[in-house]
A = this chain, B = another copy of it.
Amino acid sequence: MAVSKGSEPWILMVTARSPTNIAVIKYWGKRDETLILPINDSISVTLDPDHLCTTTTVAVSPAFDSDRMWLNGKEISLSGGRYQSCLREIRRRAGDVEDEKKGIRIRKVDWERLRVHIASYNNFPTAAGLASSAAGFACLAFALAKLMNIKEENGELSSIARQGSGSACRSLYGGFVKWVMGNDASGHDSIAVQLANESHWDDLVIIIAAVSSQQKETSSTAGMRESFDTSTLLHYRSKVVVPRRILQMEEAIRNRDFQSFARLTCADSNQFHAVCLDTSPPIFYMNDTSRRIINCVERWNQFEGTPQVAYTYDAGPNAVLIARNRTAASLLLKRLLFYFPPSPDTELTSYLLGDKSILEEAGLQSMKDVENLQAPPEIKGGISVDKNSGSVSYFICTRPGRGPTLVVDEDQALIDPRTGIPKFPNMDSSILQAQIRQQGDDVTVHLDMIIGFGSWDFSPLDLENPFPNNEGSVHLWHGDHDLMVPVSLQRYIAKKLPWIHYHEVPAAGHLFAHGNGYSDAIIKALLLGEKWGQ
């Protein structure tokens, strides 16, 4: 059994950070639902974790009674097959662990009985079509492997992450990554391999458009099952089209051939959505805004004669736009802000997140500069341009980035080393926009985006009740989703801010579903009162 020198119960923790990734040759369709084995290879670009990442702390202690997990501050069940597969596969490979400083020794055999606590946070909207589950399961596998001292060989870890969420296997590497479908029924050869690291092609700039949507989306798990069962085109795609494209894409990446890269990326995104449409009943992930963005890019690429930007869409309406270089990216940004200006009263810096330096390169200092943007030259004079203010929630500027990393600063751990449960939301969530509007008796708090981690002290509280006479209510929402607030915080807020009215959204089947990572931001918005009383 695990031992410690002292008699006090000990806790051993590891914190890691993992990137998300965007497929440029898409994964759609499984040949094995349980093991998550795909029907074709796929290729992705890892996105810079500075802008989009999951942070996960895993802790082990003989005092823990059961495996537990908190996602974005809320405890979730680990009973699902996907979590169980990951935990089982990881435990099977666990090694001896010794922490001399803390005087802890855990033998290989101890891991079967030791329970773990897991706390995980996304610094971007969960289930907003930004591959939160890919980053999440990659981070879980990576952090547990470090905690349990697993000697990883031959992409074994990616094979474990894959069993949590298929595309998670690709988030275990930085840069350009191929998920080899494999042949074996056991799935041991269905692993991710790095094609090139992030510095191989560092000209690329990625702009993500978070597209507003009211439609309930089909989960990718259900969607690919339905496509597999009903789309006649899917099987032709996976057998005939994709193998050819994989070779071409590998070559394009190897040669940093943007023209081929863009052509293949756009064609494969479109074909993936074509297959969704060929499903019965049809699945629609893109909406009218997604299509307007495609038209904007296609028109510009055609005008230039050679592609400046590639677009790709996952199982949602958000666009991921890959510009050939920073010059193209700043020209793209101008176009995007011209066609999709922010709603009135939005700060420009809260409309473009991530790498904001691109704003300066585009010569955009303020909203006035955005308002003064001229129609791009590919728009012929006389054609009326319809501007779509409000149809994009925000943009994120990022780039290809590195794979998972350990977070060595113990202060950044998400679990309290004394209690073994998550710290109270110990994050510095930069609130990019917190608009509070009052209409009659109702107040709406609109938080536009939260990004970035860090520490933020909860007290002393500096609150004022906006309804001294206790009338009215506050409705909390983010984009089109009602916000979820962890129960612990609900009690806290209920005590401190009795005028808040909650709308609980029942969790969907998918564990990483729904926008529930905003508790800290709500509180900060309310406590700090940004734009209070507007």
Give me the interface of A with B, judged by CB distance under 8 Å: 214-215, 230, 232-233, 236-237, 240-241, 263, 266-267, 270-271, 273-275, 277-282, 284, 287-288, 291, 294, 298, 302, 386
Contacts and interface: CB of A to CB of B under 8 A. Distances in A.
Contacts of A277: 270-271, 273-274, 277
Nearest to A382: B506
Contacts of A280: 263, 266-267, 270
A307 B5 CA distance: 70
Contact of A274 (B214, B233, B281, B287): B233
Contact of A278 (B240, B270, B284, B302): B270
B214 A386 contact: yes
15 contacts: A215-B291, A232-B271, A233-B233, A233-B236, A233-B241, A233-B271, A263-B280, A266-B281, A267-B280, A270-B277, A270-B282, A274-B277, A281-B298, A282-B298, A284-B291
A385 to B, nearest CB: 11
Contacts of A270: 277-280, 282
A233 B242 CA distance: 12
Given A215-B291, A267-B280, A270-B278, 4 more contacts: A230-B267, A270-B279, A274-B277, A274-B278
A25 to B, nearest CB: 14
Nearest to A284: B291
Contacts of A281: 266, 294, 298, 302
A215 B288 CA distance: 10
A504 to B, nearest CB: 12
Q: Which among A273, A281, A302 has the highest number of chain B CB atoms within 10 Å?
A: A281
A299 to B, nearest CB: 9
A236 to B, nearest CB: 5
A275 B275 CA distance: 9
A298 B218 CA distance: 14
Contacts of A241: 232-233
A237 B266 CA distance: 21
A214 B490 CA distance: 45
A278 B277 CA distance: 10
Contacts of A237: 232-233
A4 B141 CA distance: 94
Contacts of A274: 233, 274-275, 277-278
Nearest to A244: B232
Contacts of A271: 232-233, 277-278
A275 B287 CA distance: 17
Nearest to A278: B274
A474 to B, nearest CB: 19
Nearest to A291: B284
A416 to B, nearest CB: 37
Q: Which among A214, A241, A267, A277 has the highest number of chain B CB atoms within 10 Å?
A: A277
Contacts of A386: 214
Contacts of A291: 215, 284, 287
A273 B283 CA distance: 12
A359 B236 CA distance: 45
A279 B263 CA distance: 12
A157 B425 CA distance: 76
- Top 7 A-B pairs, shortest CB-CB distance: A274-B274, A274-B278, A281-B298, A274-B277, A270-B282, A236-B236, A288-B288
A234 to B, nearest CB: 10
A317 to B, nearest CB: 10
Contacts of A214: 386
Nearest to A297: B281
Q: Which among A233, A279, A284, A302 has the highest number of chain B CB atoms within 10 Å?
A: A233
A263 B230 CA distance: 11
A241 B263 CA distance: 27
Nearest to A383: B216
A302 B282 CA distance: 13
Contacts of A236: 233, 236, 240
A279 B273 CA distance: 11
Contacts of A266: 280-281
Nearest to A273: B277
A281 B386 CA distance: 20
A265 to B, nearest CB: 11
Nearest to A267: B280
A288 B212 CA distance: 13
Q: Which among A271, A274, A280, A291 has the highest number of chain B CB atoms within 10 Å?
A: A274
